[in-house]
A = this chain, B = another copy of it.
Amino acid sequence: MAQNMTLLWGSGSVPCWRVMIALEEKNLQGYNQKLLSFEKKEHKSKEVLDMNPRGQLPSFKHGDVVVNESYAACLYLENTFKSQGNKLIPDGAAEQGLMYQRMFEALAFNEKLYAVVYYEWFVPENERHDSARARNKEALRTELGLWEGYLQKLGSGSYMAGRSFTLADVIIFPTVATLYRSGLAAERYPKLGEYYALVKDRASVKASWPPHWLEDPKGEGTLKDI
């Protein structure tokens, strides 16, 4: 069905997961795919670099069209396959405005999550500071408070941009799932906890759940004190 598509990806990567959810939502199963290992530095392999000079995952191609950036791939897929699978951009200026706004606030959300969870991965040993670690954690708490408030305002059972599942959810859910995987206490952020419960069993999400999370359902607990 989607045999002219190729996805190179890594398990547990938020950007990769976004593209996989979008593909499922648009009924684009059966694409060529290859699971690569960040630990083994396979994202810097020739196979990836040929498709993506940045040496990053996801790397994604549809025919000759290369759209490696996860936001680019999601927007591209929705616009190219508008009438196939689920419609991911709502009609109406207000709904679209909220969707775009949340989609792009998610850049900050994921950045703040990664700054805490992957601090050792990103920052060389001689440049690490407890003051930075503390500030990053505080920034993540503030960020979580914002999203908790957004969901509170939308009311129970809402998706990120209202009553229907949109690109905002495709983009944001992997970040939320990584929070819980990393030990966030659901009771501390009840609305985010509800949102997580609402989306985690959706078919597109289940079909693309990170395989190493399935093998080892217990995460590292880095966010226990957030």
List residues of chain A with CB under 8 Å of any chain B CB.
Answer: 53-54, 62, 64-73, 75-76, 79-80, 93-94, 96-98, 100-101, 103-105, 107-108, 124, 126-127, 129, 131-132, 146, 149
User: Does B105 lie within 8 Å of A69, measured CB to CB?
Assistant: yes
Given A53-B146, A146-B53; A100-B127 close (CB under 8 Å): no
CB-based contact A72/B104 at 8 Å: yes
A25 to B93 Cα, complex, angstroms: 19
A80 and chain B: residue at smallest CB distance: B93
Q: Which of B71, B100, B127 contacts A67 (CB 8 A)?
A: B100
Question: Which residue on B lies nearest to A145, using beta carbons?
Answer: B53
Do the beta carbons of B124 and A96 come within 8 Å of each other? no
Whole-angstrom distance between the Cβ of A191 and the nearest chain B Cβ: 15
Contact B131 A129 (CB under 8 A): no
- Set of chain B residues within 8 Å of A64, measured between Cβ atoms: 94
Q: A54-B108, A72-B101 are in contact. List 7 more A-B contacts (CB 8 A).
A: A54-B105, A62-B97, A64-B94, A65-B94, A68-B101, A79-B96, A127-B127
Contact B101 A80 (CB under 8 A): no
Chain B: which residue is nearest A102 at the CB level? B72
Q: Of B54, B65, B126, B131, which one neighbours A97 at CB under 8 angstroms?
A: B65
A119 and B189 CA atoms in complex are apart in Å by 33
A96 contact set on B, CB distance < 8 A: 76, 79-80
In the complex, which of the residues B68, B100, B132 contacts A76, with contact meaning CB atoms closer than 8 Å? B100
